[in-house]
Amino acid sequence: MGSPVGKLHLTVGHRATGSYAKSVHFTPPFNIANIGQDRADPAVYMMTMSSSPGILDDDMLDIRVVTEANSRLMLKSQGYQRVFNMQRGARQRMELRLHEASEISYIQNPIVPHKNARLSSTTQVYLDDGCILTLAEIITCGRKLCGESFRFTRFHTVTEIHRHDRLILKDNILLEPAVVDVQGLGHAEGFTHQATLIHVNLRSGDAGEERRIVEGVLDAEEDLAYGVSQPQDAILVARTLAHGAEQIYDAFRRIEALFWERNKRPESMACGSNGVTS
């Protein structure tokens, strides 16, 4: 594979009036839109967009997001991410770098790997003191209504979270339906959709309250299985299994909204700016 065919780089800064998009750079197929509507909210709300119908063979995507000290960013994706039929495969690299006391929340739209899709994805997160991160990925079985459940070739995603360049969490998911029965015992066990939500709260140093929020929201869902672990006091990881992506996505968005509101600081009530500068 050659050099990246798509780059998206975003830096969010902070000033007295609130957070703002300090620097934005992207190349096709990427674009990014400011979706902040409440000018009384000093956080930044951005949506990643793409002119491509999805991820194509030989694509190499590079996403980098930086939040400067005390800034706050809620990032959204445009819609379902389709991964098309491939011979060689595609790669995606995402880097999130949070400086002191900043926050990123990113509940990604579900990923739909088509027949013969091959995708390798890495996410590297670097946290300074006082940072808060909410990150979620939802993986579907593919185009179920087209008879393509688990017909993709390979899906491999690795997420590493570092604090002061020291690894504190690594999540490694490898799905190869032709090699291992994804719906078998010890795996999805009949479910077709799976997801992971990671939350790190270095501001309070304890994600116990967030764990109760996650469990409260997911307990209310029917025909959904989940488990929550805390590998460290400040970190929680939730795994979910379901039969539909929208159910998981809607539940994760409710969790995100509760986290986001809970983590507001007093200065968040001041009038802010969401302007974009290049």
Distance between CA atoms of residues 125 and 249, nearest Å = 22
Lowest mean pLDDT among 104-118, 184-198, 231-245: 184-198
In which band, very low, low, confident or very high, does the pLDDT at 93 lie, cut at 50, 70 and 90?
very high
Query: In Å, how far are 90, 112, 132 from 262, measured between CA atoms?
Result: 38, 32, 11
Sign of the alpha-carbon dihedral angle for 113, 89, 125, 238: positive
Model pLDDT, residue 4: 52
pLDDT in tens, 38-55: 667 889 999 999 999 999
Six-digit token pair at 45?
């709300």
In the chain, what are the domain boundaries? 6-197+244-264
Q: Look over the chain and give the mean of its residue pLDDT values, rounded to a whole number.
A: 91
In which band, very low, low, confident or very high, does the pLDDT at 271 lie, cut at 50, 70 and 90?
very low
Of 108, 48, 107, 50, nearest in space to 84 by CA:
50
Look at residue 3 and tell me whether its pLDDT is greater than 80: no
Model pLDDT, residue 272: 38
Calculate mean pLDDT across residues 198-209.
95
Q: What are the backbone dihedrals phi and psi of residue 208, each rounded to the nearest 5 degrees, phi first?
A: -60, -45
Proportion of the chain above pLDDT 90, given as a percent:
82
Look at residue 1 and tell me whether its pLDDT is greater than 80: no
Residue bearing the bigger pLDDT, 275 or 202: 202
Residue bearing the bigger pLDDT, 17 or 168: 168
Residue bearing the bigger pLDDT, 31 or 276: 31
Model pLDDT, residue 36: 82
Q: Does the pTM of the predicted model rise above 0.75?
A: yes
pLDDT in tens, 59-92: 999 999 999 999 999 999 999 999 999 999 999 9
CB atoms within 10 A of CB 165: 7
Of 105, 115, 51, nearest in space to 79 by CA:
51
Look at residue 126 and tell me whether its pLDDT is greater than 90: yes
Model pLDDT, residue 270: 40
Query: In Å, how far are 20, 23, 133, 168 from 46, measured between CA atoms?
Result: 10, 12, 16, 27
pLDDT in tens, 94-119: 999 999 999 999 999 999 999 999 99
Model pLDDT, residue 264: 83
